[in-house]
Amino acid sequence: MAAKTIVPLWVSTCGLLLLCSSLSGVNGIGVNYGMIGNDLPSPDKVVALYKSHNITDVRLFHPDTSVLEALRGSGLGVVLGTLNEDLHALASDASFAASWVQSYVQPFAGSVNFSYINAGNEVIPGEAAALVLPAMQNLEAALQAAGLSVPVTTAVATSVLGPSYPPSQGAFSEASLPSVGPIVSFLTSRGTPLLVNVYPYFAYSADPSSVPLDYALLSSSAAVAVTDNGAEYANLFDAILDAVYAAVEKAGGGASMELVVSETGWPSGGGGYGASVENAAAYVNNLVRHVGRGTPRRPGKAVETYIFAIFNENQKPEGVEQHFGLFQPDMSEVYHVDFSAASS
């Protein structure tokens, strides 16, 4: 999650605006493993924590060989990210991409289950946006040269959208389309999903008078807030995701292209409006139970989803960003999440 992500309010003057199954075929839930803290447990303890809580997948924002070593033989699906600052070298220098694969993927491929390589996080739109596709292409070529079959994709924030209300009108912005359009074509031709970071919390906290809390929390008691060409939306998560689906389809992705929710969560503290342990627990547990059902635009199609994040990280910017963790650094729960509900 970028500290200054632009988040649409998902509202209009007439009302509110209102992930694919994992490669292993298990409708599980992943959790982002961030490491911006000076008091976090060792990687082997973290991997054990994932497994003991029925967390099936992990997303890493950057390669860390000690973490990759700890993941050997764990059975966890792994989304491995690149550093945004490496995009220039990955895009412009095929030998750098080859070295990256030789350092962080090839030595571990026999015992680590790599789901995707994630080239860049939330860089579209922006100065580095044009680097993403050539970085993806060089990484793909390096993986193929090494005899490895790991899909390459990227992660975007919802700031890639222009129109977003109602969800069926979702489209990429003029600033985003020149970069994300060719990426959609690349991914579609390979049957690889686009990763998208979805945060109903920020829409709610920016305009709580217009976004009902139960709608943002995926509460089962929430009323239908928007009817869009016959599709009914009773939660903001589905509405945001379907707006991105609509944008992908307009960009040539078609109805077959899938999305993975690579980040979503709710802060348990930090002073933000609505940031509380109670709300965070409600959102995440409701999410775990919900994502297997799909969205109104893709009913019955389970949404591969990664919660942000495993720990509260004390070296992130002060405020809510330090309070997205499911666990404290001592591995005690901030609140309980029933991950087993994802497979029910």
Backbone angles phi, psi at 48, to 5 degrees: -65, -35
Judge whether 69 counts as a catalytic residue.
no
Handedness of CA 12, 9, 288, 5 (dihedral sign): positive
User: What's the rounded Cα separation, in Å, for the pair 327 and 311?
Assistant: 5
The residues, ordered by sequence, that sit 6+ positions from 281 with a Cβ below 8 Å of its Cβ are 268, 335, 336, 337
Is residue 321 among the annotated active site residues? no
**Separation CA 299–CA 279 (nearest Å):** 26
Query: Is residue 113 helix, strand or coil?
Result: strand
* CB proximity list for 15: less than 8 A, separation 6 or greater: 225, 226
**Which position among 140, 249, 258, 263 bears the catalytic label?**
263
Compute the distance between CA of residue 130 and CA of residue 157 in angstroms, rounded to an integer. Answer: 16
Residue whose C-alpha is closest to residue 156's, from 179, 137, 174: 179
Q: What sign has the CA pseudo-torsion 344, 220, 304, 264?
A: negative
* CA gyration radius, the chain: 19
User: Within 10 Å of residue 177's Cβ, how many Cβ atoms?
Assistant: 19
In angstroms, what CA-CA distances link 94 with 141, 143, 211? Answer: 8, 11, 47
Tell me how far the alpha carbon of residue 173 is from its chain's centroid: 20
Residue numbers annotated as active site: 122, 263
